[in-house]
Amino acid sequence: MCRVLLAFLRGSQKVASKKTRRLLDKSKTFHVTCGVTICVFSVLHVAAHLVNALNFSENFNEDFLALNAANYRGEDPRNLLFATVPGLTGVIMVLVLFLMCTASTYAIRVSNYDIFWYTHNLFFVFYMLLMLHVSGGVLKYQTNLEEHPPGCFNPNKTLRENMTVPKAFEETFPDYTTEPFPEDLSVPEPFVQNNFMRICSEEPKFQSHFPETWFWISGPLCLYCVERLYRYIRSNKPVTITSVISHPSNVLEVRMVKDDFKARPGQYVILHCPRVSALESHPFTLTMCPTDTKATFGVHLKVVGDWTERFRDVLLLHSNQDTEILPIFQQRRYPNDGWKCYKLRRLYFIWVCRDIESFRWFADLLCMLHNKLWQENRPDYVNIQLYLSQTDGVQKIIGEKYQALNSRLLIGRPPWKLLFDEIAKCNRRKTIGVFCCGPNKISKILHKLSNSSNPYGTRFEYNKESFS
């Protein structure tokens, strides 16, 4: 997937259509669909070749030796599969495709991302084998159709096989022999009998098709290589890690500074740490964006896999404690950053967690934002609702320090249907963007509610983020 190219097209002013941009957002779905399509048709392709290998062996044609894929009648079909260039490359391609598909399952991606990453990069081997796959010359075409049209009558072949010459041919050429015509005489025109019989002037000649696979895959492959080169050049610019912060619930915050780095809320960066993995890299959403007054940007990552565990072990050698989060809030933290330049009129922020500790590193920023909005006489600008699915330790967060969150902390799961109805009622005949970052189960519920109709004329546009 060419993420840089997609991001460029997504943010280009020439792509003005909202539908086109949403199609670009479906790049991962398109990528998965292409992969499934390749797998399905590969199974059909392999099944057809297994049948062909048996037919080539049993139906060896002595008349047209050049068209035979087998060397002789009754040849072992396994020789065609493992002792020829098309067969051997096809078998290896099937193995590579099987590894890529099985390693792309959700269970393997979550348990061991390294397996998914390294096997997925075998696509380059797959493409190389695909170009070699057609070099065996199995597919052929006839080069002398004028001299030997399909279905023509070959008298030389008929006499050699002691077959009966058609009566019409004997009446026309009574003294015809298999010897060549004298040089001073021209060869007679092909004889037509009942508008379908023609005389062959020579044996059929066949030639292998010129491979054209490279023509179809060289473009996308070169485009991907250019993008990887562009990523490599950009990654060589130094990035300074200013602080590493460990939060509760295995959450790690990394703050960085890079020259001439610009970003907007909602964008992501790809992190690559050579000390952790030489080839592996991962995308993370920016939770702190650079501003005119502060060039620091940062990400929050959940330690859930082997790469994040090793990354945490490397970074926590120089850790400290502090908290800041959310780019949409972070862009408005500093005095020089006003509120009027943003089109956002109201934000409904709903956060669901199982553990009360997950709110701790976030509570300070929420309280600060609440106080700031009250001072600016805009208390309804952000509607904060915190849902705790488990009741253990609820009192830990309720205290004098977090009094602003008392009325916003609820027990249980959000009543999504009621929330959508309430928001639609308060924003009649308006367009509301819905952004989900969470499990697929919640994502499906929100997607369904966003597409459902309501009596208030409110339109919901659903968006989600998922790197899994």
Amino acid (1-letter code) at residue 308: T
- Give the pLDDT confidence score for residue 459 in this predicted structure: 93
> Model confidence over 394-428: pLDDT tens digits?
555 555 667 777 778 888 889 999 999 999 999 99
Is 379 in a helix, a strand, or coil? coil
* CATH number of the 237-328 domain: 2.40.30.10
Pairing mode of beta strands 268-271, 251-257: unpaired
Domain positions in the chain are: 3-141+210-232, 237-328, 415-468
CA distance 216 to 221: 9
Q: Are 199 and 191 in contact (CB under 8 A)?
A: yes
Q: 355-358: which pairs have CB atoms within 8 A and are 24 or more residues apart? A: 355/248, 355/249, 355/390, 356/388, 356/390, 356/392, 356/393, 356/394, 356/396, 356/397, 357/248, 357/249, 357/393, 357/396, 358/248, 358/249, 358/251
How high is the pLDDT of residue 148?
A: 82
pLDDT of residue 16: 63
Q: Is the pTM higher than 0.75?
A: no
Q: What pLDDT is attached to residue 172?
A: 57
List the pLDDT tens digit at each of the 468 positions of the chain: 787 888 788 777 676 677 888 788 888 889 999 999 999 999 999 999 889 888 888 888 787 777 777 788 888 888 888 888 888 999 999 999 999 999 999 888 877 778 888 899 899 899 999 988 888 777 888 888 888 888 777 766 654 444 455 555 555 555 555 555 556 555 555 444 444 567 787 888 888 888 888 888 888 889 999 988 988 887 778 888 888 888 877 888 899 998 888 888 778 888 888 888 877 888 888 888 888 888 899 998 888 878 888 888 888 765 443 333 344 444 433 334 444 555 778 889 998 888 777 777 677 778 888 888 888 888 888 888 988 887 665 555 555 667 777 778 888 889 999 999 999 999 999 999 999 888 888 999 999 999 998 899 999 999 887 655
DSSP designation for 57: H
Note the pLDDT tens digit of each residue in 233-286: 877 788 888 888 888 778 888 999 988 888 887 788 888 888 888 778 888 888
pLDDT of residue 108: 87
The predicted pLDDT at position 325 comes to 34
Residue 289 CA: distances (Å) to CA of 10, 87, 121, 164, 272: 19, 53, 31, 90, 19
Residue appearing with tokens 């060289």: 218
Instruction: Pick the closest to residue 90 from 99, 80, 100 (CA basis).
Output: 80
- The residue type found at 49 is H
pLDDT computed for residue 396 by the predictor: 52
pLDDT of residue 41: 95
What is residue 228's predicted lDDT score, i.e. its pLDDT?
Answer: 87
Please tell me the predicted confidence (pLDDT) of residue 170. Answer: 57
Q: Given this model, what pLDDT does residue 467 score? A: 59
- Mark 222-247 as b/e (b = at least 16 C-beta within 10 Å): eebeebeeebeeeeeeeeeeebbbbb
Q: How many whole angstroms separate alpha carbon 13 and alpha carbon 20?
A: 12
